[in-house]
Structure 1
Protein backbone atom coordinates (compact mmCIF):
# COMPACT_ATOMS: atom_id res chain seq x y z
CA UNK A 1 0.00 0.00 0.00
CA UNK A 2 1.33 3.46 -0.96
CA UNK A 3 2.42 5.55 2.06
CA UNK A 4 0.58 8.70 0.95
CA UNK A 5 -2.55 6.69 0.16
CA UNK A 6 -2.37 4.99 3.55
CA UNK A 7 -1.94 8.32 5.34
CA UNK A 8 -4.91 9.77 3.46
CA UNK A 9 -7.09 6.81 4.39
CA UNK A 10 -6.04 7.08 8.02
CA UNK A 11 -6.84 10.79 8.17
CA UNK A 12 -10.19 10.18 6.48
CA UNK A 13 -11.04 7.44 8.97
CA UNK A 14 -10.01 9.58 11.96
CA UNK A 15 -12.10 12.52 10.73
CA UNK A 16 -15.14 10.30 10.26
CA UNK A 17 -14.74 8.64 13.67
CA UNK A 18 -13.95 11.72 15.77
CA UNK A 19 -17.49 12.54 16.88
CA UNK A 20 -18.66 8.90 17.23
CA UNK A 21 -15.67 8.21 19.47
CA UNK A 22 -16.47 11.33 21.47
CA UNK A 23 -19.92 9.92 22.14
CA UNK A 24 -18.44 6.51 22.96
CA UNK A 25 -16.10 8.15 25.48
CA UNK A 26 -18.97 9.83 27.27
CA UNK A 27 -21.03 6.64 27.16
CA UNK A 28 -18.08 4.76 28.70
CA UNK A 29 -17.88 7.25 31.55
CA UNK A 30 -21.64 7.01 32.07
CA UNK A 31 -21.43 3.22 32.19
CA UNK A 32 -18.62 3.33 34.73
CA UNK A 33 -20.66 5.76 36.81
CA UNK A 34 -23.47 3.19 36.94
CA UNK A 35 -21.03 0.43 37.91
CA UNK A 36 -19.63 2.47 40.79
CA UNK A 37 -22.60 4.47 42.04
CA UNK A 38 -25.71 2.36 41.29
CA UNK A 39 -27.16 0.43 44.23
CA UNK A 40 -29.32 -1.85 42.09
CA UNK A 41 -27.48 -4.88 40.71
CA UNK A 42 -29.41 -4.63 37.44
CA UNK A 43 -28.08 -1.11 36.80
CA UNK A 44 -24.56 -2.20 37.67
CA UNK A 45 -24.76 -5.09 35.21
CA UNK A 46 -26.10 -2.74 32.57
CA UNK A 47 -23.22 -0.36 33.22
CA UNK A 48 -20.75 -3.22 32.92
CA UNK A 49 -22.25 -4.24 29.57
CA UNK A 50 -21.91 -0.65 28.36
CA UNK A 51 -18.25 -0.64 29.42
CA UNK A 52 -17.51 -3.81 27.49
CA UNK A 53 -19.30 -2.61 24.34
CA UNK A 54 -17.57 0.77 24.29
CA UNK A 55 -14.21 -0.85 25.03
CA UNK A 56 -14.81 -3.13 22.04
CA UNK A 57 -15.59 -0.08 19.90
CA UNK A 58 -12.33 1.60 20.88
CA UNK A 59 -10.39 -1.59 20.28
CA UNK A 60 -11.90 -1.95 16.81
CA UNK A 61 -11.08 1.67 15.98
CA UNK A 62 -7.51 1.20 17.20
CA UNK A 63 -7.09 -1.95 15.08
CA UNK A 64 -8.42 -0.21 11.95
CA UNK A 65 -6.11 2.79 12.40
CA UNK A 66 -3.17 0.49 13.07
CA UNK A 67 -3.79 -1.24 9.76
CA UNK A 68 -4.45 1.93 7.77
CA UNK A 69 -1.31 3.64 9.10
CA UNK A 70 1.01 1.00 7.64
CA UNK A 71 3.43 1.70 10.49
CA UNK A 72 3.20 -1.66 12.17
CA UNK A 73 4.44 -1.76 15.79
CA UNK A 74 5.72 1.81 15.48
CA UNK A 75 2.09 2.96 15.57
CA UNK A 76 2.00 2.19 19.30
CA UNK A 77 4.74 4.76 19.92
CA UNK A 78 3.66 7.44 17.47
CA UNK A 79 0.06 7.30 18.75
CA UNK A 80 0.92 6.87 22.41
CA UNK A 81 -2.15 8.72 23.73
CA UNK A 82 -4.49 6.37 21.90
CA UNK A 83 -2.50 3.41 23.20
CA UNK A 84 -2.70 4.65 26.79
CA UNK A 85 -6.41 5.34 26.41
CA UNK A 86 -6.95 1.80 25.13
CA UNK A 87 -5.05 0.24 28.07
CA UNK A 88 -6.43 2.55 30.78
CA UNK A 89 -10.18 2.82 30.20
CA UNK A 90 -10.74 5.67 32.67
CA UNK A 91 -8.64 7.94 30.45
CA UNK A 92 -10.89 7.37 27.46
CA UNK A 93 -12.87 10.59 28.01
CA UNK A 94 -9.62 12.43 27.20
CA UNK A 95 -10.50 11.76 23.57
CA UNK A 96 -12.83 14.73 23.97
CA UNK A 97 -9.75 16.93 23.80
CA UNK A 98 -8.80 15.41 20.46
CA UNK A 99 -12.11 16.27 18.83
CA UNK A 100 -12.49 19.76 20.31
CA UNK A 101 -10.89 21.42 17.29
CA UNK A 102 -13.02 19.34 14.92
CA UNK A 103 -16.19 20.51 16.66
CA UNK A 104 -15.08 24.13 16.23
CA UNK A 105 -14.41 23.50 12.56
CA UNK A 106 -17.82 21.91 12.01
CA UNK A 107 -19.54 24.89 13.60
CA UNK A 108 -17.94 27.11 10.99
CA UNK A 109 -17.10 29.79 13.55
CA UNK A 110 -13.79 31.51 14.10
CA UNK A 111 -11.05 29.38 15.56
CA UNK A 112 -9.84 30.18 19.05
CA UNK A 113 -6.31 31.41 19.44
CA UNK A 114 -3.62 28.92 20.37
CA UNK A 115 -3.42 30.15 23.96
CA UNK A 116 -7.20 30.07 24.42
CA UNK A 117 -7.34 26.53 23.02
CA UNK A 118 -4.66 25.34 25.44
CA UNK A 119 -6.61 26.79 28.38
CA UNK A 120 -9.86 25.25 27.10
CA UNK A 121 -8.22 21.85 26.60
CA UNK A 122 -6.68 21.95 30.06
CA UNK A 123 -9.96 22.91 31.70
CA UNK A 124 -11.86 20.19 29.90
CA UNK A 125 -9.19 17.62 30.75
CA UNK A 126 -9.24 18.66 34.40
CA UNK A 127 -13.00 18.16 34.69
CA UNK A 128 -12.91 14.75 33.02
CA UNK A 129 -9.87 13.54 34.95
CA UNK A 130 -11.25 14.80 38.24
CA UNK A 131 -14.58 13.03 37.78
CA UNK A 132 -12.93 9.81 36.59
CA UNK A 133 -10.48 9.83 39.50
CA UNK A 134 -13.29 10.48 41.98
CA UNK A 135 -15.18 7.46 40.64
CA UNK A 136 -12.11 5.22 40.73
CA UNK A 137 -11.05 6.25 44.23
CA UNK A 138 -14.55 5.96 45.63
CA UNK A 139 -14.82 2.48 44.08
CA UNK A 140 -11.65 1.31 45.86
CA UNK A 141 -11.81 3.29 49.08
CA UNK A 142 -15.32 3.50 50.48
CA UNK A 143 -15.30 -0.04 51.88
CA UNK A 144 -11.60 -0.20 52.85
CA UNK A 145 -10.73 -0.45 56.57
CA UNK A 146 -9.70 2.91 57.99
CA UNK A 147 -10.80 4.80 54.88
CA UNK A 148 -11.54 8.53 55.12
CA UNK A 149 -13.24 8.63 51.71
CA UNK A 150 -16.64 7.12 52.46
CA UNK A 151 -19.01 8.86 50.02
CA UNK A 152 -18.80 10.01 46.42
CA UNK A 153 -18.98 13.56 47.73
CA UNK A 154 -15.83 12.87 49.75
CA UNK A 155 -14.16 11.45 46.64
CA UNK A 156 -15.14 14.49 44.56
CA UNK A 157 -13.75 16.87 47.18
CA UNK A 158 -10.54 14.84 47.38
CA UNK A 159 -10.17 14.86 43.58
CA UNK A 160 -10.67 18.63 43.43
CA UNK A 161 -8.07 19.41 46.09
CA UNK A 162 -5.62 16.88 44.65
CA UNK A 163 -6.01 18.02 41.03
CA UNK A 164 -5.51 21.66 42.03
CA UNK A 165 -2.46 20.63 44.15
CA UNK A 166 -4.05 22.18 47.27
CA UNK A 167 -3.90 18.97 49.27
CA UNK A 168 -5.51 19.81 52.62
CA UNK A 169 -4.84 16.30 53.84
CA UNK A 170 -8.27 15.89 55.40
CA UNK A 171 -8.93 12.90 53.14
CA UNK A 172 -6.30 10.50 51.88
CA UNK A 173 -6.48 7.12 50.09
CA UNK A 174 -5.46 4.10 52.16
CA UNK A 175 -5.45 1.42 49.46
CA UNK A 176 -2.53 0.81 47.10
CA UNK A 177 -4.59 1.45 43.98
CA UNK A 178 -6.13 4.54 45.50
CA UNK A 179 -2.68 5.95 46.21
CA UNK A 180 -1.55 5.10 42.68
CA UNK A 181 -4.54 7.05 41.33
CA UNK A 182 -3.60 9.92 43.65
CA UNK A 183 -0.05 10.04 42.27
CA UNK A 184 -1.33 10.07 38.71
CA UNK A 185 -3.83 12.79 39.50
CA UNK A 186 -1.17 14.95 41.16
CA UNK A 187 1.10 14.62 38.13
CA UNK A 188 -1.77 15.51 35.81
CA UNK A 189 -2.71 18.44 38.03
CA UNK A 190 0.81 19.86 37.89
CA UNK A 191 0.96 19.38 34.11
CA UNK A 192 -2.41 21.04 33.54
CA UNK A 193 -1.60 23.89 35.89
CA UNK A 194 1.69 24.45 34.08
CA UNK A 195 -0.05 24.41 30.71
CA UNK A 196 -2.65 26.96 31.79
CA UNK A 197 -0.27 29.36 33.54
CA UNK A 198 2.30 29.10 30.75
CA UNK A 199 -0.24 29.71 28.02
CA UNK A 200 -1.87 32.56 29.95
CA UNK A 201 1.50 34.22 30.52
CA UNK A 202 2.47 33.80 26.87
CA UNK A 203 -0.85 35.31 25.81
CA UNK A 204 -0.33 38.33 28.06
CA UNK A 205 3.18 38.85 26.72
CA UNK A 206 1.82 38.69 23.17
CA UNK A 207 -0.82 41.31 23.99
CA UNK A 208 1.73 43.61 25.63
CA UNK A 209 4.09 43.22 22.69
CA UNK A 210 1.29 44.16 20.30
CA UNK A 211 0.44 47.24 22.36
CA UNK A 212 4.07 48.35 22.32
CA UNK A 213 4.20 48.00 18.54
CA UNK A 214 1.11 50.24 18.21
CA UNK A 215 2.66 53.04 20.27
CA UNK A 216 4.11 55.86 18.11
CA UNK A 217 7.90 56.29 18.37
CA UNK A 218 9.03 58.86 20.93
CA UNK A 219 10.29 62.18 19.61
Structure 2
Protein backbone atom coordinates (compact mmCIF):
# COMPACT_ATOMS: atom_id res chain seq x y z
CA UNK A 1 0.00 0.00 0.00
CA UNK A 2 2.90 2.33 0.88
CA UNK A 3 4.56 1.65 -2.47
CA UNK A 4 1.31 2.27 -4.34
CA UNK A 5 0.82 5.63 -2.64
CA UNK A 6 4.44 6.52 -3.37
CA UNK A 7 3.93 5.69 -7.05
CA UNK A 8 0.72 7.74 -7.12
CA UNK A 9 2.52 10.69 -5.52
CA UNK A 10 5.34 10.40 -8.04
CA UNK A 11 2.94 10.35 -10.99
CA UNK A 12 1.03 13.33 -9.65
CA UNK A 13 4.27 15.24 -8.98
CA UNK A 14 5.71 14.67 -12.46
CA UNK A 15 2.52 15.10 -14.48
CA UNK A 16 2.87 18.82 -15.25
CA UNK A 17 6.66 18.89 -15.75
CA UNK A 18 6.44 16.00 -18.24
CA UNK A 19 3.64 17.78 -20.08
CA UNK A 20 5.81 20.90 -20.35
CA UNK A 21 8.70 18.78 -21.63
CA UNK A 22 6.40 17.22 -24.23
CA UNK A 23 5.53 20.71 -25.50
CA UNK A 24 9.25 21.55 -25.63
CA UNK A 25 9.86 18.38 -27.63
CA UNK A 26 7.13 19.34 -30.10
CA UNK A 27 8.70 22.75 -30.65
CA UNK A 28 12.21 21.31 -30.98
CA UNK A 29 11.04 18.71 -33.47
CA UNK A 30 9.05 21.20 -35.57
CA UNK A 31 11.53 24.07 -35.84
CA UNK A 32 14.17 22.42 -38.10
CA UNK A 33 11.46 21.00 -40.37
CA UNK A 34 9.37 24.15 -40.75
CA UNK A 35 12.34 26.54 -40.87
CA UNK A 36 14.43 25.22 -43.72
CA UNK A 37 16.98 28.04 -43.20
CA UNK A 38 17.79 26.94 -39.65
CA UNK A 39 21.53 26.85 -39.06
CA UNK A 40 23.62 24.03 -37.68
CA UNK A 41 23.70 25.49 -34.17
CA UNK A 42 19.90 25.77 -33.96
CA UNK A 43 19.46 22.25 -35.28
CA UNK A 44 21.96 20.96 -32.71
CA UNK A 45 20.06 22.71 -29.90
CA UNK A 46 16.78 21.20 -31.07
CA UNK A 47 18.35 17.76 -31.24
CA UNK A 48 19.70 18.16 -27.71
CA UNK A 49 16.26 19.19 -26.45
CA UNK A 50 14.73 16.10 -28.07
CA UNK A 51 17.22 13.82 -26.35
CA UNK A 52 16.72 15.58 -22.99
CA UNK A 53 12.95 15.14 -23.21
CA UNK A 54 13.28 11.49 -24.18
CA UNK A 55 15.73 10.98 -21.29
CA UNK A 56 13.24 12.56 -18.87
CA UNK A 57 10.49 10.17 -19.92
CA UNK A 58 12.94 7.26 -19.75
CA UNK A 59 13.90 8.32 -16.20
CA UNK A 60 10.21 8.50 -15.34
CA UNK A 61 9.78 4.90 -16.52
CA UNK A 62 12.78 3.72 -14.52
CA UNK A 63 11.56 5.53 -11.41
CA UNK A 64 8.10 3.97 -11.67
CA UNK A 65 9.78 0.60 -12.15
CA UNK A 66 11.92 1.14 -9.04
CA UNK A 67 8.98 1.98 -6.77
CA UNK A 68 6.71 -0.71 -8.21
CA UNK A 69 5.79 -3.54 -5.84
CA UNK A 70 5.99 -6.23 -8.55
CA UNK A 71 8.69 -5.22 -11.00
CA UNK A 72 8.29 -8.24 -13.26
CA UNK A 73 4.59 -7.59 -13.62
CA UNK A 74 5.32 -3.90 -14.24
CA UNK A 75 7.66 -4.78 -17.12
CA UNK A 76 5.13 -7.23 -18.59
CA UNK A 77 2.26 -4.74 -18.43
CA UNK A 78 4.39 -1.81 -19.63
CA UNK A 79 6.31 -3.53 -22.42
CA UNK A 80 5.47 -0.76 -24.89
CA UNK A 81 7.03 1.81 -22.58
CA UNK A 82 10.14 -0.36 -22.39
CA UNK A 83 10.39 -0.56 -26.18
CA UNK A 84 9.98 3.21 -26.45
CA UNK A 85 12.83 3.67 -23.98
CA UNK A 86 15.21 1.15 -25.58
CA UNK A 87 14.68 1.65 -29.33
CA UNK A 88 16.19 5.16 -29.68
CA UNK A 89 19.36 3.91 -27.95
CA UNK A 90 19.74 1.00 -30.35
CA UNK A 91 18.99 3.11 -33.43
CA UNK A 92 19.23 6.87 -32.76
CA UNK A 93 17.03 8.01 -35.63
CA UNK A 94 15.24 11.34 -35.22
CA UNK A 95 11.95 9.83 -36.34
CA UNK A 96 12.35 6.98 -33.87
CA UNK A 97 12.87 9.48 -31.05
CA UNK A 98 9.63 11.16 -32.08
CA UNK A 99 7.71 7.87 -32.12
CA UNK A 100 9.10 6.74 -28.76
CA UNK A 101 8.35 10.08 -27.12
CA UNK A 102 4.78 10.03 -28.45
CA UNK A 103 4.31 6.54 -26.99
CA UNK A 104 5.71 7.58 -23.62
CA UNK A 105 3.61 10.75 -23.52
CA UNK A 106 0.48 8.83 -24.44
CA UNK A 107 1.05 6.06 -21.92
CA UNK A 108 1.84 8.58 -19.19
CA UNK A 109 -1.24 10.67 -19.97
CA UNK A 110 -3.57 7.69 -19.71
CA UNK A 111 -2.49 7.19 -16.09
CA UNK A 112 -3.54 10.70 -15.06
CA UNK A 113 -6.93 10.50 -13.38
CA UNK A 114 -7.57 14.19 -14.08
CA UNK A 115 -7.47 13.64 -17.83
CA UNK A 116 -10.86 12.62 -19.17
CA UNK A 117 -11.26 10.42 -22.19
CA UNK A 118 -12.51 13.24 -24.40
CA UNK A 119 -9.52 15.43 -23.54
CA UNK A 120 -7.13 12.55 -24.16
CA UNK A 121 -8.64 11.70 -27.53
CA UNK A 122 -8.63 15.35 -28.63
CA UNK A 123 -4.99 15.71 -27.58
CA UNK A 124 -4.07 12.48 -29.34
CA UNK A 125 -5.73 13.62 -32.57
CA UNK A 126 -3.96 16.98 -32.52
CA UNK A 127 -0.62 15.39 -31.63
CA UNK A 128 -0.81 12.72 -34.31
CA UNK A 129 -1.94 15.25 -36.90
CA UNK A 130 0.93 17.59 -36.10
CA UNK A 131 3.69 15.04 -35.77
CA UNK A 132 2.44 13.01 -38.73
CA UNK A 133 2.53 16.11 -40.90
CA UNK A 134 6.01 17.08 -39.76
CA UNK A 135 7.36 13.55 -40.11
CA UNK A 136 6.04 12.99 -43.64
CA UNK A 137 7.19 16.45 -44.71
CA UNK A 138 10.70 15.79 -43.45
CA UNK A 139 11.05 12.56 -45.47
CA UNK A 140 9.03 13.51 -48.56
CA UNK A 141 10.08 17.09 -49.21
CA UNK A 142 13.37 16.12 -50.87
CA UNK A 143 12.04 13.05 -52.66
CA UNK A 144 12.41 13.36 -56.49
CA UNK A 145 8.94 11.91 -57.12
CA UNK A 146 7.28 13.30 -54.01
CA UNK A 147 4.28 15.62 -54.12
CA UNK A 148 4.25 16.66 -50.45
CA UNK A 149 6.39 19.77 -50.58
CA UNK A 150 4.81 22.23 -48.13
CA UNK A 151 3.46 22.10 -44.60
CA UNK A 152 -0.05 22.69 -45.93
CA UNK A 153 0.23 19.65 -48.20
CA UNK A 154 1.49 17.56 -45.26
CA UNK A 155 -1.34 18.65 -42.93
CA UNK A 156 -3.96 17.94 -45.60
CA UNK A 157 -2.45 14.53 -46.29
CA UNK A 158 -2.33 13.68 -42.55
CA UNK A 159 -5.95 14.70 -42.07
CA UNK A 160 -7.24 12.62 -44.98
CA UNK A 161 -5.06 9.67 -43.91
CA UNK A 162 -6.17 9.71 -40.26
CA UNK A 163 -9.82 9.82 -41.28
CA UNK A 164 -9.13 6.99 -43.79
CA UNK A 165 -10.61 9.12 -46.59
CA UNK A 166 -7.49 9.05 -48.77
CA UNK A 167 -8.28 11.37 -51.70
CA UNK A 168 -5.01 10.39 -53.37
CA UNK A 169 -4.05 13.93 -54.41
CA UNK A 170 -1.06 13.67 -52.06
CA UNK A 171 0.68 10.42 -51.22
CA UNK A 172 4.10 9.40 -49.88
CA UNK A 173 6.54 7.89 -52.34
CA UNK A 174 9.37 6.79 -50.05
CA UNK A 175 9.44 3.67 -47.94
CA UNK A 176 9.74 5.61 -44.70
CA UNK A 177 6.88 7.90 -45.74
CA UNK A 178 4.66 4.90 -46.40
CA UNK A 179 5.54 3.46 -42.98
CA UNK A 180 4.42 6.77 -41.46
CA UNK A 181 1.21 6.52 -43.47
CA UNK A 182 0.51 3.02 -42.12
CA UNK A 183 1.07 4.15 -38.57
CA UNK A 184 -1.16 7.18 -39.06
CA UNK A 185 -3.96 5.09 -40.58
CA UNK A 186 -3.86 2.55 -37.76
CA UNK A 187 -3.83 5.33 -35.18
CA UNK A 188 -6.79 7.03 -36.86
CA UNK A 189 -8.79 3.81 -36.89
CA UNK A 190 -7.97 3.18 -33.22
CA UNK A 191 -9.00 6.69 -32.19
CA UNK A 192 -12.20 6.41 -34.21
CA UNK A 193 -12.97 3.18 -32.36
CA UNK A 194 -12.39 4.89 -29.01
CA UNK A 195 -14.71 7.76 -29.94
CA UNK A 196 -17.39 5.37 -31.19
CA UNK A 197 -17.17 3.26 -28.03
CA UNK A 198 -17.37 6.38 -25.87
CA UNK A 199 -20.53 7.58 -27.64
CA UNK A 200 -22.11 4.11 -27.42
CA UNK A 201 -21.31 3.93 -23.71
CA UNK A 202 -22.96 7.31 -23.15
CA UNK A 203 -26.14 6.22 -24.92
CA UNK A 204 -26.27 2.92 -23.03
CA UNK A 205 -25.82 4.71 -19.70
CA UNK A 206 -28.57 7.15 -20.65
CA UNK A 207 -30.98 4.36 -21.57
CA UNK A 208 -30.19 2.48 -18.36
CA UNK A 209 -30.88 5.61 -16.34
CA UNK A 210 -34.25 6.08 -18.04
CA UNK A 211 -35.07 2.40 -17.46
CA UNK A 212 -34.27 2.69 -13.75
CA UNK A 213 -36.50 5.76 -13.48
CA UNK A 214 -39.32 3.96 -15.25
CA UNK A 215 -39.05 0.96 -12.92
CA UNK A 216 -39.07 3.26 -9.90
CA UNK A 217 -42.27 4.93 -11.09
CA UNK A 218 -43.88 1.55 -11.76
CA UNK A 219 -43.04 0.32 -8.26
CA UNK A 220 -44.46 3.54 -6.78
CA UNK A 221 -47.73 3.08 -8.70
CA UNK A 222 -48.02 -0.55 -7.59
CA UNK A 223 -47.44 0.44 -3.96
CA UNK A 224 -50.07 3.17 -4.24
CA UNK A 225 -52.54 0.72 -5.78
CA UNK A 226 -52.02 -1.75 -2.93
CA UNK A 227 -52.53 1.03 -0.38
CA UNK A 228 -55.80 2.17 -2.03
CA UNK A 229 -57.06 -1.44 -2.07
CA UNK A 230 -56.30 -1.81 1.66
CA UNK A 231 -58.03 1.49 2.47
CA UNK A 232 -61.16 0.44 0.57
CA UNK A 233 -61.29 -2.84 2.45
CA UNK A 234 -60.89 -1.02 5.80
CA UNK A 235 -63.65 1.49 4.98
CA UNK A 236 -65.99 -1.30 3.93
CA UNK A 237 -65.30 -3.19 7.15
CA UNK A 238 -66.00 -0.14 9.34
CA UNK A 239 -69.26 0.63 7.53
CA UNK A 240 -70.53 -2.94 7.97
CA UNK A 241 -70.71 -3.59 4.26
CA UNK A 242 -69.29 -6.97 3.30
CA UNK A 243 -66.28 -6.72 1.04
CA UNK A 244 -67.01 -8.71 -2.07
CA UNK A 245 -64.71 -8.40 -5.03
CA UNK A 246 -63.09 -5.03 -4.34
CA UNK A 247 -62.57 -3.59 -7.82
CA UNK A 248 -59.07 -2.85 -9.02
CA UNK A 249 -58.41 0.88 -9.08
CA UNK A 250 -57.75 2.27 -12.50
CA UNK A 251 -55.24 4.95 -13.34
CA UNK A 252 -57.62 7.95 -13.13
CA UNK A 253 -59.03 6.72 -9.79
CA UNK A 254 -55.55 6.47 -8.34
CA UNK A 255 -54.83 9.98 -9.47
CA UNK A 256 -58.04 11.27 -7.84
User: Number of matched residues?
Assistant: 203
Task: Give the greater-gyration-radius structure (CA).
Answer: 2
Distance 2:76 2:26 in 1: 26
Distance 1:62 1:5 in 2: 19
1:28 touches 1:54 (CA, 8 Å); kept in 2? yes
Counterpart in 1 of 2:236?
Answer: none
Q: Partners in 2 of 1:9 and 1:147 — Cα distance?
A: 51
122-131 or 85-94, which moves further after superposition? 85-94
Structure 2: how far apart are the matches of 1:121 and 1:90? Answer: 13
Measure how far apart 1:34 and its partner are: 1.4
Q: Who is 1:150 aligned against?
A: 149
Matching residue of 2:117? 118
Contact kept? 2:15, 2:112, Cα under 8 Å: no
Structure-2 separation of matches of 1:26 and 1:144: 29
1:9 CA drift (Å): 2.4
1:214/1:130 Cα in 2 relative to 1: closer, same or farther (>3 Å)? same
Unaligned runs of 5+ in 2: 88-99, 222-250, 252-256
1:19·1:99 contact (CA, 8 Å) conserved in 2?
A: no
Q: Secondary structure at the match of 1:69?
A: coil
Query: For 1:10 and 1:89, how far apart are their aligned partners in 2?
Result: 21
- Confirm or deny that 1:63 pairs with 2:75: no
TM superposition score normalised by structure 2:
0.70
Q: Distance in 2 between matches of 1:84 and 1:28?
A: 19
Structure 1 residues 189 and 84, CA, compared in 2 at 3 Å: closer, same or farther?
Answer: farther
Distance between the aligned counterparts of 1:59 and 1:68, measured in 2?
15
Q: Tell me the distance in 2 between the aligned counterparts of 1:81 and 1:26.
A: 21
Deviation (angstroms), 1:128:
0.7
Shift of 1:51: 0.8
CA RMSD of aligned residues (A): 2.4
Q: Report the more deviating stretch, 146-155 or 118-127.
A: 118-127
Where relative contact order (Cα < 8 A, 6+ residues apart) is larger, the structure is 1
**Higher mean C-alpha displacement, 29-38 vs 136-145:** 29-38
**Which residue in the other structure is 1:203 paired with?**
202
Partners of 1:74 and 1:214 in 2: CA distance = 43
| CA distance, structure 2, for counterparts of residue 127 and residue 84 of structure 1 | 24
User: Residues 52 and 193 of structure 1: is their aligned pair in 2 closer, same or farther, counting only changes over 3 Å?
Assistant: same
| Aligned residue runs from structure 1 range 82-121, under 5 A | 82-86=81-85, 87=87, 88-94=100-106, 97-98=109-110, 101-102=113-114, 117-121=116-120
1:46 deviates by 2.2
